[in-house]
Amino acid sequence: MTYTFKLARRLARFRTAGIAAILTLGACNGTDSLDPSTSSPTATDQASPVGSPLASSTFAGGIPFGTFSQPVTAFGARFNGAQQNNSVDQLLAALAGVKARGGRVAIVMAGNNRYYKDAAGHFDFGKWKARIDRFRAVDFSSYIADGTIIGHYMIDEPNDPTNWNGQPVPGSTVDAMAQYSKSIWPTMATIARVEPGYFPTGMKYLDAAWAQYLARRGNVNDYIKRSVSDAQERGLSLVVGLNLLDGGTPNLESMTASEVETFGTALLSSSYPCAFISWHYDDRYLSAPGMAAVMDRLRGMAENRGTRTCSRSSAGST
């Protein structure tokens, strides 16, 4: 998301500092943030709790539907997709739990971007590779083959200069990151969370871009049409989702149940997306009146879509 949007959101939060402090004490620890710009889903290399296993289940069909940072215990009838960050020693247990609950997940291996910046705060390709190399000894190939892994979530918002001390990560570098990932796991899709229009044409190794809608993006129907067109032009698959906690109206509020239904229905009006994953899992928010029913309806829409992977081979057609 843009620098001006982030600045506006931060100013809005200062105006509600008292409420924010109470919510932070009640819902977060001292190192967590609800701001996607901080890459908080990958802030620590912690596995999501697996919980008690359910009877083995299979993916229900359609496209995965869920949230960032979603615990394995939340996979089931309502959510069957997620973005997760897990430590090297906990990844296989988490994947087994996701599969047992009929889920699919985009995995983060590099962790928070603070781990792969140089001393000046710019992206460091060498450090990023070292973070990825930690997983070479983990054999998760079966979860790639059976579709439990949606793809490798390589980087968050490479386009945003505030993430990289004024120097966005260019599309060519993101494609080189995808090439490196595929040199280790050739069949795993590569994903970057940035809208497809950021990338030049001619990308060779990146499989999927990400269109995360919030109200300030303008008309949601225009947004999804533009995102699909940009993805098709570049031969990319497309993950979509909503900024649930910071993307509503009028002032960067959490989306209401009505907004979630309107925006989500519009995004799912297209058969092009390969997954619907929103920012981010919050049990209290998702349990609010009316929200569960809306999520169930959107899950039904996602399940009724034609199943497609997030690889480039699934891109280019509706």
Q: What are the φ/ψ torsions at residue 266 (nearest 5 degrees)?
A: -65, -45
CB 158 within 8 A of CB 318: no
How is residue 198 written in tokens?
A: 């950021």
pLDDT tens per residue, range 82-128 = 999 999 999 999 999 999 999 999 999 999 999 999 999 999 999 99
Amino acid identity of residue 130, one-letter, is A
CB 111 within 8 A of CB 153: no
From 125, 124, 112, 122, select the one nearest 162 (Cα to Cα).
122
From 162, 176, 92, 163, select the one nearest 129 (Cα to Cα).
176
How is residue 280 written in tokens?
A: 């981010």
Per-position pLDDT tens, the chain of length 318? 444 444 444 444 433 333 333 333 333 333 233 333 333 343 334 444 444 344 457 999 999 999 999 999 999 999 999 999 999 999 999 999 999 999 999 999 999 999 999 999 999 999 999 999 999 999 999 999 999 999 999 999 999 999 999 999 999 999 999 999 999 999 999 999 999 999 999 999 999 999 999 999 999 999 999 999 999 999 999 999 999 999 999 888 999 999 999 999 999 999 999 999 999 999 999 998 899 999 999 999 999 988 899 999 877 554
From 170, 144, 148, 146, select the one nearest 158 (Cα to Cα).
170
